């Protein structure tokens, strides 16, 4: 459940909360076209797609960056014991705290928690249930989140939105604890992560770029949910708030990462959970990291 990667002098670990054949492509991608998909279906890596089940393999993971004195958690998954509308996420009870410890991450040593956006499957381990309340999991960290997303989801939460309770149990308690910092135009976080707009999936989604000794990686959030979108970049997910902007962001991102050979570290890809995007004729192809 733990992978390790290096970008120059910086070590990165991923903690996999869960993965499996969970999503029907027609449901996750409203513009899915079976005939178009079939043309490049065989390019998907093994165990990324189970045609007999008609299910795409999708996961949830947390990323951790070890950069000098900083220990940075990027996105925090679903979390334990939290009510969520999707059955596969509802009241999870995983060993993520032990897996973090195995990766060398003690909660009190985390300096930053960085959120690419504020969907419920990216903020869950912000908090744990202690003494009858949701308390910060990483008590000494600054929790860094996009201001546009905070404003958007705060308004939804206050309006009685029937989505999920993640803002109330995983975001607002951080603000109440005085640990929240908002990204609103900043160029860098934690002295090593370059901030880049990735608007579309949510109004404030961000990417975070990591560079060291001539190597580059990027925490790409939910620009992609599955490598099928690299092969078919016009397909948004059903969860994209701003569909036109999401497509434009995806195409710009594909162009940039394929030209520089960056390691792409999404939140939802199947094992090995990250990889490279290469040019493929007039389009793009996915190469899992080794």
Q: Is the dihedral of CA 58, 28, 210, 124 positive or negative?
A: negative
**Could you report the per-residue pLDDT of 220-232, keeping only the tens digit for each?**
999 999 999 999 9
Strands 142-146 and 180-183: parallel
The pLDDT value given to residue 2:
87
Over residues 214-242, mean pLDDT:
97
Q: What is the mean pLDDT of the chain?
A: 96
DSSP string over 101-116 = HHTT--GGG--EEE-S
Q: What is the pLDDT of residues 58-86, one digit of tens each?
A: 999 999 999 999 999 999 999 999 999 99
Are 206 and 267 a contacting pair, CB within 8 Å?
Answer: no
Q: Which two tokens stand for residue 198?
A: 């990735």
Rounded CA gap, 220 and 196, in Å? 10
- 1 pLDDT higher than 90: no
- For the cut 90, the answer to whether the pLDDT of residue 233 exceeds it is yes
- The pLDDT of residue 118 is 97
Residue 237 is predicted with a pLDDT of 97
At 268-289, the pLDDT tens digits run: 999 999 999 999 999 999 999 9
Q: What is the pLDDT of residue 186?
A: 83
Distances (CA, A) of 101 to 57, 79, 160, 241: 26, 16, 37, 35
Q: Is the pLDDT of residue 160 over 90?
A: no
Question: What stretch of H or E contains 160?
Answer: none
In this predicted structure, what is the pLDDT of residue 162? 60
Using DSSP's 3-state secondary structure scheme, residue 275 falls into strand
SS3 state of residue 269: coil
Query: How confident is the model over 131-153, as a mean pLDDT?
Result: 97
The pTM score is 0.96
Asked if 78 and 89 count as a contact pair (C-beta separation under 8 A), the reply is yes
* 42-51 tens-digit pLDDT: 999 989 999 9
Say yes or no to pLDDT of 234 above 70.
yes
CB of 75 closer than 8 Å to CB of 63: yes
Backbone angles phi, psi at 96, to 5 degrees: -55, -45
For residues 136 and 141, give the distance between their C-alpha atoms in angstroms, rounded to a whole number: 9
Beta strands in 29-132 (DSSP E): 49-50, 55-67, 70-74, 112-114, 127-130
Residue 137 structure tokens = 């999991």
């Amino acid at each position: 459940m733990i992978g390790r990667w290096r970008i120059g002098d910086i070590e990165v670990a991923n903690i996999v909360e869960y993965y499996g054949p969970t999503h029907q492509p027609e449901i996750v991608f409203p513009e899915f076209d079976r005939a178009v998909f079939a043309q490049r279906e065989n390019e998907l890596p093994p165990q990324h797609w189970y045609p007999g089940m008609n299910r795409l393999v999708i996961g949830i993971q947390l990323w951790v960056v070890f950069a000098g004195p900083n220990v940075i958690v990027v996105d925090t998954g679903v979390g334990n014991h939290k009510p969520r509308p999707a059955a596969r996420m509802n009241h999870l009870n995983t060993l993520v705290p032990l897996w973090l410890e195995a990766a060398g991450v003690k909660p009190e040593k985390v300096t930053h928690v960085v959120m690419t956006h504020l969907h419920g499957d990216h903020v869950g381990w912000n908090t744990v249930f202690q003494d009858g309340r949701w308390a910060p999991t990483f008590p000494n960290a600054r929790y860094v989140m996009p201001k546009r997303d905070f404003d958007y989801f705060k308004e939804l939460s206050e309006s009685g939105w029937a989505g999920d309770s993640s803002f109330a149990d995983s975001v607002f308690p951080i603000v109440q604890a005085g640990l929240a910092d908002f990204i609103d135009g900043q160029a860098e976080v934690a002295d090593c992560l370059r901030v880049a707009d990735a608007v579309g999936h949510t109004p404030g989604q961000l990417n975070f770029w990591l560079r060291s000794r001539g190597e580059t990686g990027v925490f790409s959030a939910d620009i992609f949910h599955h490598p099928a979108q690299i092969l078919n970049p016009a397909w948004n997910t059903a969860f994209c708030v701003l569909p036109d902007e999401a497509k434009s962001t995806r195409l710009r991102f594909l162009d940039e990462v394929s030209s520089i050979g960056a390691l792409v570290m999404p939140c939802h890809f199947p094992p090995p959970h990250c990889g490279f995007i290469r040019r493929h004729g007039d389009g793009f192809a996915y190469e899992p990291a080794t």
